[in-house]
Structure 1
Amino acid sequence: MARDMQITFDCADPAALAAFWAEALGYQVQGPPGNFESWEQALDAMGVPPEHRNDASAVVDPEGSRPRLFFQRVPEPKQVKNRVHIDVRAAPGLEGDERMAALEKEAERLAAHGATRLGRHEPAPPLGAGHLVMVDPEGNEFCLD
């Protein structure tokens, strides 16, 4: 039986991290439930106090085909390297110098939104096409592939 799934991030600032990943993946912040025009209206109606209004956020694929990303506030900071990470497919169909140039361009774009570049892995045919290692604004590793 096939199951739906989402990817969950523990973080300090769910709204900011959701905005980053929406930009990185071409997603959008998930809209409020029901007939509410804004999240503020929905949270007011639910009785959520101001200090808990950034406890969670989510982003969704506007086309509805890719998994939802959910961001939840946790008290502890990130401590070790991720064992699972997201590969952002930023250069599909490109090879060699053209591929690496496209990855570098995307790295610059995401750096303007708070990402940090950690390293570059040059193409090593036949299996290694080359990629860049990055971290999001809260230090979660991801690759531009």
Structure 2
Amino acid sequence: MSEDKKALVMQAICDGFLSIAKDLGERDFSPQSDDQPIGQDKIAVILSMISEDESMRGRFLFEGDAAQIKDLAEGMNGETLSDRAEVFFSVGEFANMVCGKAVTVVNNAYKGTNFRLTPPAIFSGTNMEITTPSVQSTELKYSGPVGLVRIDVGFEGV
């Protein structure tokens, strides 16, 4: 994948994250530049981005403090969520919207790319680490009302 496409994907994901979090989740996030770790109890969502001809493959990882992810999900739903399954469904849909917006931007800018998304996979746990050794990625952290979130986007063979 060209550097131009990677930069466009990252910008579209950042813009999508911030706008959807604000408009739908009613939450403001700000860039976090230090190495402050995300808490031990985490929720993470992973989606794959694959071009139609399968020549380009990438993945989107969105993870955060469980309390921050729950807060975002509650903002999206306009109510307190007591069932973790509802939180998982909401954060999966949030990640789908962010990635869908980014994929649309890239597909419109680079005709013929035809990126598609896989359904989101949601993980939850304590001291959880997710890594994809064969993927070079770019990581961004944001501070929200009650914790941190991390966005990590990478592509194979780049």
Higher normalized contact order (CA 8 Å, seq sep 6+, divided by chain length): 2
State which structure, 1 or 2, has the greater radius of gyration over its C-alpha atoms: 1
Q: TM-score, normalised by structure 1?
A: 0.32
Counting helix residues as a fraction of each chain, which structure ranks higher?
Answer: 2
Counting strand residues as a fraction of each chain, which structure ranks higher?
Answer: 2
Q: TM-score, normalised by structure 2?
A: 0.30
